[in-house]
Amino acid sequence: MFEIGIALGSGVLMGMTFAPSEIWYLAWVALAPLWYLTSRQQNPPLVYALAWGIGCYGWGLSWIFGIHPMTWMGVPFLASLGIATFCLTFITLWGTSLVILWFLGLRFINSKPQLNPWLRVLLGTALWCGLEELYSLTDLWWSPLAMTQSPHNLAILHLGQLSGPTTVTGAIVLVNGLIAEGYMAFIGNRHHAKLIPRIWRSSAYIGSAIASIIILHLIGSNLLNRPLAEAIASSIKIGIIQGNVSNEVRHYQSGYELAMENYTKGYISLAEQGVAAVVTPETALPYRQSQIERTPFYQAILAKKVTAFVGGFGEVGKKITNSILTIDGEGKIISRYDKWKLVPLGEYIPFEQFLGKFVDTISPLDSHLLAGKFAPSVLTPLGNLIFGICYDSAYPEHFRRQAQTGELIVTASNDAHYGMAMPAQHQALDLMRAIETDRWTVRASNTGYSAVIDPHGRTQWISQLDEFVARAHTVYRRQTQTLYVRYGNWLTPLLCAGFILFILPARPKNAA
């Protein structure tokens, strides 16, 4: 039970490193106990991985429970409690499944006789990176280990410019592995080996862990300290509106009216400050594309002649999309970005042909949006821009591909109803995307945090939660190409190739 407690406790420590916490440094040691426990036999091995995963993801994603209560949507209190509990449990176990697979893989690696511990560290790192890459291809993804360093450790986050967030994750796993091997070298054969030799063997691993941390941070610091050297011609004065219309209010007619009032007055104020464009949050105007022209906000656009990026609903036949509509100063919708990654059960039903009727009976949410198709970037009056709506922010490849032609990131979200942790983690994800792509980022969120982030991940401005804001800020368009933008996540395939070569059985010497 003591060792299970160690696994659970170290998992909680890892979960505590996610924003809004400021103890990011614990991530560099919080995986080491689980790594050590892969060599233990006292309990069924999956118990350790299960405990660590529940501690990490249960704590780090506990904000999911913020969907309760949903009584404002007509859901009874107990039913709301059940839905929230199911969502948190399922997401926690989904993240834990990655930990279990990694644990089993590392146990398999440990089963190889006389395996060099240095090779074991590299293989364990490759396995975790490969699993994160695999999970990032699914519709449920949020918390790579790299996220533990955002928004505070800007130096190490700059490793993301090399091969995306996997580079940061790999660094964290590598250091934890070296620390674990150092501990195992010290306690191993302690009844037969003398103390001094064990100390020397342990020091080699611990020293390598310390050296790795220093070297990796020096590399990141070099990238962080490169001057941005922005050209005046690339500057844009852009406006951000944080309407501060809570989800509970938005559900009623009074919410529609408040949203229209806040976004219209915010647009007029920003237009009079001379901005080139105004950004609104996700579904700021809860209207279909064909209905926008009948709103006071649209009339304000015709009067002030300033481009607006409007969160609303696009239309594809009889279905709707969660979209950002680009409306120019003449009132024409000249482009539209449709949300690419929809939230399962919240915005669409997985395997709808089989589960649709069942989910409709247990979920109060509108689960029938149409996902957008990927576009390299979106042409607007400000140039080619990179767009993301809410859950898109968790998928770095989406932004990388757009950054090959896009010059500025614009994200829109609605993080209301989740307390402080979820908006802070969302901000952390967008900050990572800014660094990886070397782009200025403009965030508009319904109730916060709205922000402006420079390409080095420095937050130039950020709103407070639960306040109305109409903010004008100067940003810059960029056409640089980081190694990650050019070549993608090349590190994971390289590491996984080494892992596969290791697990392939050796060819018999007498084979033809």
Which residues are part of the catalytic machinery? 282, 339, 390
**Which residue in the block uniquely carries the two structure tokens 């020091």?**
203
Residue in the structure block whose two tokens are 């955002």: 150
- Give yes or no for a contact between 427 and 151, defined as CB atoms under 8 angstroms apart: yes
**At CA 386, angle to CA 168 and CA 145, rounded to 5?**
20
Residues 6+ apart with CB under 8 A from 87: 64, 65, 67, 345
**Strands, DSSP E only, in 347-419?**
378-380, 383-389, 409-413
Query: Encoding tokens for residue 120?
Result: 């074991």
Per-residue 3-state assignment (H helix, E strand, C coil) for 462-487: ECCCCCCEEEEEEEECCCCCCHHHHH
Rounded Cα distance, 294 and 99, in Å:
51
Find out whether the peptide bond into 151 is cis, omega within 30 degrees of 0. yes
Integer-rounded Cα Rg, in Å, for the chain is 25
State the Cα–Cα distance between residues 467 and 261, nearest whole angstrom. Answer: 15
For residue 452, which of 442, 463, 444 has the smallest C-alpha distance?
442
Q: What is the DSSP letter of 35?
A: H
Kindly give, in sequence order, each residue whose CB lies less than 8 Å from that of residue 391, ignoring residues fewer than 6 positions away.
339, 341, 342, 343
The answer to whether 240 and 443 have CB atoms below 8 angstroms apart is yes
Q: Phi and psi (nearest 5°) for 461?
A: -160, 145
Residue pair 177/35 in contact (Cβ under 8 Å)? The answer is: yes
C-alpha span between 418 and 439 (Å, rounded): 28
Q: Do the strands 409-413 and 383-389 form a parallel or antiparallel pair, or are they unpaired? A: parallel
Distances in whole angstroms, Cα of residue 459 to Cα of each of 1, 369, 455, 456: 44, 32, 9, 9
DSSP states of 65-99: GGG---GGGT--HHHHHHHHHHHHHHHHHHHHHHH
Q: Kindly state the tokens that stand for 484.
A: 């990650």
Which residues are bridge partners to 380 per DSSP? 383
Cis amide leading into 113 (omega within 30): no
- Do the beta carbons of residue 237 and residue 276 sit within 8 Å? yes
